[in-house]
Chains A and B, each alone.
Chain A
Amino acid sequence: GESVGLHLPTLSVQEGDNSIINCAYSNSASDYFIWYKQESGKGPQFIIDIRSNMDKRQGQRVTVLLNKTVKHLSLQIAATQPGDSAVYFCAELRMNRDDKIIFGKGTRLHILP
């Protein structure tokens, strides 16, 4: 997600509902994408990745969708739980170039009881 000034965009979701977190990536040449989860006071943690030759990939309770036409990535979390509260970052890189990952600014997911 894109940041607004110094504040992260926040998504509030009822516990048990599905969450969809969006990310607009910057480089049309990027061919590998990753979602990270960062809980308060901790370092980022890998969730799921996807290569540009795919448009969908599923993990446990998570699905990543890739739309290369509009340079858009989304993370869907099924049956959101309190432990899903965190900041979620998308990241992009070009696998055969300089290997430097570019991180998005993050979206805060807030779970409502």
Chain B
Amino acid sequence: NAGVTQTPKFRVLKTGQSMTLLCAQDMNHEYMYWYRQDPGMGLRLIHYSVGEGTTAKGEVPDGYNVSRLKKQNFLLGLESAAPSQTSVYFCASSRWRSTDTQYFGPGTRLTVL
């Protein structure tokens, strides 16, 4: 099993550009999550999904959209990137609810100029 994978690993955007981060898991997990990690801030939940076709807002959802069209994939979109979205983004999945172990991907480092 590959576990949780993220694409791309690095990306540089200009302000106003859009992009989509892809997360894939091969563990048949129901729950998936997108977090951002900033220096001194810990991990903050952006959006999450409790199953295929569902999405919900986390702690810091503004400026992001997500989709879960297939159970194994969770996409994070930035429609108009801003420098404040410069961060490291982590995807995670868990079998059922948040109290199940969350497995994290390797992260995507995004820089918005």
Contacts and interface: CB of A to CB of B under 8 A. Distances in A.
A104 to B, nearest CB: 6
B106 interface: yes
A41 B58 CA distance: 24
Contacts of A101: 45, 98, 102
Nearest to B35: A103
B97 A99 contact: yes
B74 interface: no
A6 B38 CA distance: 9
Q: Interface centre among A6, A32, A43, A95, by most B CB within 10 Å?
A: A43
A8 interface: yes
Interface string A70-92: 00000000000000000001000
A100 interface: yes
A105 B58 CA distance: 17
Interface string B82-93: 000000001010
B2 interface: no
Which applies to chain A's interface (DSSP): helix, strand, loop or mixed?
Answer: loop
A8 B40 contact: yes
Contact of B90 (A3, A44, A106): A44
Interface residues of A, number: 24
Contacts, number: 59
Contacts of A61: none
A44 B43 contact: yes
A101 B101 CA distance: 11
Contacts of B95: none
Contacts of B103: 46
A43 B105 contact: yes
Interface in A43-81: 43-46, 49
Nearest to B39: A6
Interface of B: 4, 35, 39-45, 48, 58-59, 90, 92, 97-99, 101-107
The 9 closest A-B pairs by CB, nearest first: A43-B104, A103-B43, A103-B42, A99-B98, A3-B40, A6-B40, A105-B42, A6-B39, A46-B101
Interface of A: 3-8, 32, 41-46, 49, 89, 93, 95, 99-101, 103-106
